[in-house]
Amino acid sequence: MRYIGVDQYKKFSYIAVMDERGGIVKEGKVVNDREELKKFLRGCRDGKAEAVIEAGPSWTVMYDWLEGEIDGVKLANPLKVKAIADAKIKTDKIDATILAHLLRADLIPEAYVPKVETRKIKNILR
């Protein structure tokens, strides 16, 4: 089993892939592009994989890409994640690793994910 923490920004994401014991299998900065994400995830999956991404302004695109590549994706409530994992030092690497650890420990405070059809309608209305 692999646990994937994604700290997403507008142009890139920092991704940490963790094994069942909490060891980092792979980590790095990835341009927000579906093909780049596929390349990054290739070779670091050993069986089942789950990912977590925080809800933010553009979470839907990365969520959909991850959903197409791995077994499960969770959307984390960023305010509740901050309350659980309040860190004095914040970097992309630390945030992605904390997300992966929380996912591995089943401690992700999940946010509601509307169905794809609902998300499409909301985007049209925007």
What letter represents residue 117's amino acid? E
Reply yes or no on domain 2-125 having CATH 3.30.420.140.
Answer: yes
Domain ranges of the chain: 2-125
- Comparing 65 with 43, the larger pLDDT belongs to 65
CA-based Rg of the chain, rounded to a whole angstrom? 14
Q: What is the per-residue pLDDT for 57?
A: 83
Q: What is the per-residue pLDDT for 107?
A: 93
* Alpha carbon distance, N-terminus to C-terminus of the chain: 38
Mean pLDDT calculated for residue range 90-94 = 84
- Tokens 């646990």 sit on residue: 3
